[in-house]
Amino acid sequence: MATISYLSIGDDIEGKLVADDISGSMTIGGDMLDEIELDEITGSLTIGGNVDSLLWLTESSSGTITTGAVNGVVTLNQSDEAVYSGTATFDSVPSGGLVMTLLGGLSGTIHVTGNVGGTVAAAALSPNTGLLTGGSIQVDGNVSGSIVVQVDSLGDIEIGGALTSTGDVLVLGDMGGELDITGAVDGDIIANYLGDGAGVTEISSGVYEIVLDRPISGGEWTTITYLGDDSYVTYASLPADAEADGQSASDDYTAIINYLNEVETPPYGDYSTDMDHSGGFNSSDALRLLDLLNGAGKFTPWYAATLPTNTCP
């Protein structure tokens, strides 16, 4: 097979293309309608349109891939010793689309600038593959499909939008890296172990301590389900809502002053009063409540915010 140092196709590609390597640049102006098979990419592959067929790499690659929507299948390696260390960027992965490392590792980045309705996977057969340290799966939009890591996830998973009710993040091993979801979390997150210090510890018979790898989402309901019998507990978080009435407003500042002066009793103890998460309750919490209401500094303004209707689980 040949090595491609430069190739430019202005329109769709309809025939099968097989090559050893793209060492320079290859550009396809339209859609990829037929299969592209490569051993590796050390240069760059740009597809201006969509991937409607199969794009597959077999060995380790360090190059860049940029395409439109993936309606077909993209495999970034097919060997358990191969590692993709480059950056692969896709406009979206609609339902039925699949982007994955098939057998090897991901130490580079899979970046979806839009939504994922299909599947993005670091699929692997051995612990030294999968999502490796330094690797990342980044989705700027919403995930209504699946993000899957078949072994340990040592890299980071970042979702800039929401994990919708049909979406899931599935890690079949331990979650050693970070999982960061900016938007609402209505879908499932399943892993053997979530981050340093996160996990489930039995305190006594039938009593468990659950430590999450991140704070629950503000302004949302969060449900933790026990898969053994589908029992669950639901938590709500609304910053600055000292009265726990489901709305953040100026009345909450009056309430926290009353709590400080022991005129009233906070409905949920420190959960209602510890606004700065210091582990105690003092005048600093009243100042932090004002910051939260007004959106001071790095905070989102929560004034007049309300909890949505609880639809969990």
Q: What pLDDT does 179 receive?
A: 86
Query: pLDDT-based confidence at 138, cuts 50/70/90?
Result: very high
Q: What pLDDT does 292 receive?
A: 93
* Mean of all residue pLDDT scores within the chain: 85
Q: Does 229 score more than 80 pLDDT?
A: no
Query: pLDDT-based confidence at 133, cuts 50/70/90?
Result: confident
User: Considering the entire predicted model, what is its pTM?
Assistant: 0.62
Query: pLDDT-based confidence at 3, cuts 50/70/90?
Result: low
CA distance 14 to 25: 19
Mean pLDDT lowest among 57-61, 111-115, 242-246, 257-261: 57-61
Architecture of domain 3-197: 3 Solenoid (2.160)
- β-pair type (220-226, 231-237): antiparallel
Q: What pLDDT does 66 receive?
A: 95
Architecture of domain 237-294: Orthogonal Bundle (1.10)
Task: Indicate the SS3 state at residue 274.
Answer: coil
Give the number of residues written for the chain. 313
Q: What pLDDT does 302 receive?
A: 94
Q: Does 13 score more than 70 pLDDT?
A: no
Q: What pLDDT does 65 receive?
A: 95
DSSP 8-state secondary structure symbol assigned to residue 53: S
For residues 253 and 179, the model is more confident at 253
Query: Is 66:49 a contact under the CB 8 Å cutoff?
Result: no
Q: Does 186 score more than 70 pLDDT?
A: yes
Mean local confidence (pLDDT), 109-129: 82
Q: What pLDDT does 8 receive?
A: 67
Mean local confidence (pLDDT), 1-29: 72
pLDDT in tens, 141-159: 999 999 988 777 788 999 9
Q: Does 200 score more than 80 pLDDT?
A: no
Query: pLDDT-based confidence at 203, cuts 50/70/90?
Result: confident
CA distance 309 to 53: 42
Mean local confidence (pLDDT), 261-285: 90
Q: Hey, where are the domains in the chain?
A: 3-197, 237-294
Residue in the block written with tokens 């989102």: 300
Q: What pLDDT does 313 receive?
A: 62
Query: pLDDT-based confidence at 10, cuts 50/70/90?
Result: low
pLDDT above 90 coverage of the chain, percent = 40
Cα four-point dihedral sign 233, 234, 239, 240? negative
Query: Is 174:191 a contact under the CB 8 Å cutoff?
Result: yes
Q: What pLDDT does 215 receive?
A: 72
For residues 67 and 56, the model is more confident at 67
Q: What pLDDT does 85 receive?
A: 92
Alpha carbon separation from 170 to 6, 57, 190, 268 (Å, rounded): 39, 24, 5, 33
Nearest of 129, 92, 94 to residue 110 by alpha carbon: 92
**Backbone dihedral angles phi then psi of residue 211, each to the nearest 5 degrees:** -115, 120
Query: pLDDT-based confidence at 296, cuts 50/70/90?
Result: confident
Q: What pLDDT does 103 receive?
A: 75
Rg (CA), the chain: 24
Q: What pLDDT does 235 receive?
A: 85
Instruction: Please check whether the two domains, 3-197 and 237-294, share a CATH topology.
Output: no
User: Element (H or E) spanning 291, and its range?
Assistant: helix 283-294
